[in-house]
Amino acid sequence: MLYCPLPWIFQAIRNNGDLRVCCQANQGPDRGLLRKPDNTIYNAAVDDLVEARNAQKMKDIRVAMINDKWHPDCVRCQKEEESGIRSRFTYEEEAWNHHFPALRAKLMTEPDGTINPSEIPVVYYDLRFGNVCNLKCRSCGPTDSDAWYGDQVKLWGPTYDDTAGLMNIIKVDGKYTVENDIYKWYENKSFWKHMQNEIPNIQYVHMVGGEPLLIKQQFAFLRKCIEAGRSKDITIEHNSNITYLPKMALDLWKNFKEIRIGASIDGVGEVNNYIRYPSKWSTIVRNLKKLDSAEGNFKVWIAFTVQVLNILSLPDFFQWKIDQQFKRINTTAAWKPIATLHPLHSPHFLNAKVLPLEAKIQVADKFSAAKFDEEYEPYARKLLDQYCSFMFQEDYSYLLPKFWKYTNKLDVIRNQSLKESIPDLYNLDGFADSK
């Protein structure tokens, strides 16, 4: 049985409140969205979260897995597994198979994929709290960061597509916003009432944004977990850009079973500042050091998204990370050594596969020449080999004109320069020549 526990024990909400299979399913033909019989999308602001668990897509995915087949919405995990990359499919099975093993899933699932939500409660939530963010990363956009609105207007115009339809960016009192703001779904009181009722079942809550540490409602929920006497049984995970680390969060986190922080960092120094604009590297390093010594049961890792702008500097990042000698950040073989890498799949023109062949060969040569301390060499070598294989897997170089149009225009808008910020990449054979 091709088994991932998520379709049975998990519920995921997009930035705009739409329910979906999981974030990886965003690469599927319908972006993993859960639809009602009338084809409208289930949304956490207005719909019954329990009913959504037996949406047709959820049933279809369960049936596919029981029959040992990849469902089309699981294409991202399928491609990563085929590239030798450890996908979410693998690590979620390892994390949850003890709680809900494959045989139990099969026995408790009807032939059409239906389950009984009261017998199989949600123990794991993935909550995307809108698009409030203080950064506007180059691989991001307005659906995930409201800081992107102004640049979106200058780059592409005042409209963009979301799963809810065409969004219009407008100015109110001199500030960019969107008409009919769907990203504030988490302000709905009925959602938080549902979450409070689920506290007895919850084991794991993954909270993302935007930048999740800017969302105050989550802290009230964490207090409810503490007051209910359940916090010592609940793991909290955040994906954060680590530019903002409020004392309130540190005070609450120490009461939970475990706090897991995926620190979104995409390079060292100017490489990270260029990609994750307008972050300041010194602030990120300072907050990493705070997390490395904070009170509580922490597991912290650097979530590094490998893309065209940083793949060449990957060995340099590894060396920087090793040199820091952190106590708890990616420090053991049992917990994601060196860094936790993820390949950027879209937009395709920022995927590492967009590099021309001669540039890819130079990247591969740098990977081969890189040397690390004996303790870290096996882990570093495995990761470099995986991402070298991923880079050569397909040729997206036909998208280079789109890459340069986007990069050059955004450089002008932000007063940045790829040539000055990441010169080694800019000077790769055949890369800048493709402008």
77-81, 220-224, 282-286, 288-292 — which is least confidently predicted? 77-81
pLDDT attached to residue 230: 98
In the chain, % of residues over pLDDT 70 = 99
92 and 193 part of one domain:
no
Compute the average pLDDT of residues 376-383: 93
Phi-psi region of 285 (alpha: psi -120 to 50; beta: other; left: phi over 0): alpha
230 and 315 part of one domain:
yes
Domain containing residue 37: 6-116
Q: Please give the C-alpha separations between residue 273 and each of 280, 350, 413, 418, in angstroms, as whole numbers.
A: 6, 17, 15, 11
108 and 225 part of one domain:
no
- Nearest C-alpha neighbor of 308 from the set 390, 210, 370: 390
In one-letter notation, the amino acid at residue 85 is I
152 inside domain? no
428 inside domain? yes
111 and 188 part of one domain:
no
Q: At a CB cut-off of 8 Å and minimum separation 6, what does 214 contact?
A: 132, 133, 134, 244
205 and 323 part of one domain:
yes
Q: Integer distance in angstroms from the first to the last C-alpha of the chain?
A: 48
| pLDDT higher than 70, residue 16 | yes
| pLDDT higher than 90, residue 99 | yes
pLDDT attached to residue 157: 96
CB atoms within 10 A of CB 235: 18
How far, in Å, CA of 107 to CA of 8, rounded?
12
pLDDT attached to residue 85: 84
343 inside domain? yes
245 inside domain? yes
239 and 381 part of one domain:
yes
110 and 188 part of one domain:
no
Compute the average pLDDT of residues 172-177: 95
359 inside domain? yes
| pLDDT higher than 80, residue 434 | no
151 inside domain? no
- Nearest C-alpha neighbor of 105 from the set 4, 213, 32: 4
148 inside domain? no
334 and 427 part of one domain:
yes
pLDDT band at 186 (very low <50, low <70, confident <90, very high): very high
189 and 99 part of one domain:
no
209 and 333 part of one domain:
yes
208 and 71 part of one domain:
no
pLDDT attached to residue 331: 83
Domain boundary among the residues 116, 148, 163 is at 116
| pLDDT higher than 90, residue 71 | yes
Q: Say how many CA atoms lie within 13 Å of 126 toward its Cβ.
A: 18
Domain boundary among the residues 116, 150, 171 is at 116
Compute the average pLDDT of residues 131-150: 97
pLDDT band at 334 (very low <50, low <70, confident <90, very high): low
55 inside domain? yes
pLDDT attached to residue 21: 97
**What angle separates helix 314-324 from helix 377-393, to the nearest 10 degrees?**
160
79 and 191 part of one domain:
no
Compute the average pLDDT of residues 353-365: 98
Which tokens in the block code for residue 429? Answer: 């054979």
For the chain, give the mean pLDDT. 95
Q: How many domains does the chain have?
A: 2
| pLDDT higher than 70, residue 275 | yes
Domain boundary among the residues 82, 116, 150 is at 116
Compute the average pLDDT of residues 7-35: 95
pLDDT attached to residue 335: 62
Compute the average pLDDT of residues 36-64: 97
Which tokens in the block code for residue 136? Answer: 């506007």
pLDDT band at 337 (very low <50, low <70, confident <90, very high): confident
